[in-house]
Amino acid sequence: MSSVEKSFPVSWDQFHRDARALAWRLASLREEWKAIVCITRGGLVPAAIISRELGTRMIETVCIASYHSYDTQGELQVLKAISPILLEDEGDGILIVDDLTDTGKTAALVRSMLPKAHFATVYAKPKGRPLVDTFITEVSQDTWIFFPWDLGLTFQAPIAKGIAG
């Protein structure tokens, strides 16, 4: 994370509100989704919230490893593919869910598997944003989002601490 200048910590409450806001947007696009394909691990939590809000019971995972450490993104590795039945019709009627699109590499890989699916993320960065159909909040490329499942309760230094004064 050495090249990251900004941090954006997200609480459980905020994430839940943002995921529900995403569900509201998605509900207006289609009466019913055939299935949700969530990108693990980050997509699991928003997919659970969205599936509840939209009444979608079929949830599938696609497991891709990209961050081999928390500060560097490595080569993409598909650990578990999508069920063949959901790949029919190139994903038409399928909702892909993830917590964040960062560089767009993971999004591009999953979109290539389901080119007609609707791709939704809670957060988006500029490099990944063109690959996503619906999102809630855009953050700058140099911002690191700290998700609630990655955090413990610790002291946070004031933003101004790093500013000479």
Contacts of 5 (CB under 8 A, 6+ apart): 142, 143
Higher pLDDT, 48 or 66: 48
Note the pLDDT tens digit of each residue in 44-65.
999 999 999 999 999 999 999 8
Task: Tally the C-alpha atoms within 13 A of residue 29's C-alpha that lie toward its C-beta.
Answer: 16
Note the pLDDT tens digit of each residue in 95-112.
999 999 999 999 999 999
CATH topology of domain 6-150: Rossmann fold (3.40.50)
Query: What is the pLDDT confidence band of residue 68, given thresholds at 50, 70 and 90?
Result: low
SS3 assignment for 131-165: HCCEEEEECCCCEEEECHHHCCCCCCCCHHHHCCC
By C-alpha distance, which of 55, 152, 139, 156 is closest to 99? Answer: 139
Rounded to whole angstroms, the Cα distance separating 80 from 51 reads 21
Instruction: Let me know: does 121 contact 132? Beta carbons within 8 Å.
Output: yes
By C-alpha distance, which of 2, 3, 5 is closest to 163? Answer: 5
What residue type is assigned to position 24 of the chain?
A: W
Rounded to whole angstroms, the Cα distance separating 63 from 4 reads 26
Write out the catalytic residue numbers. Answer: 98-99, 102
Token couple for 15: 């994430």
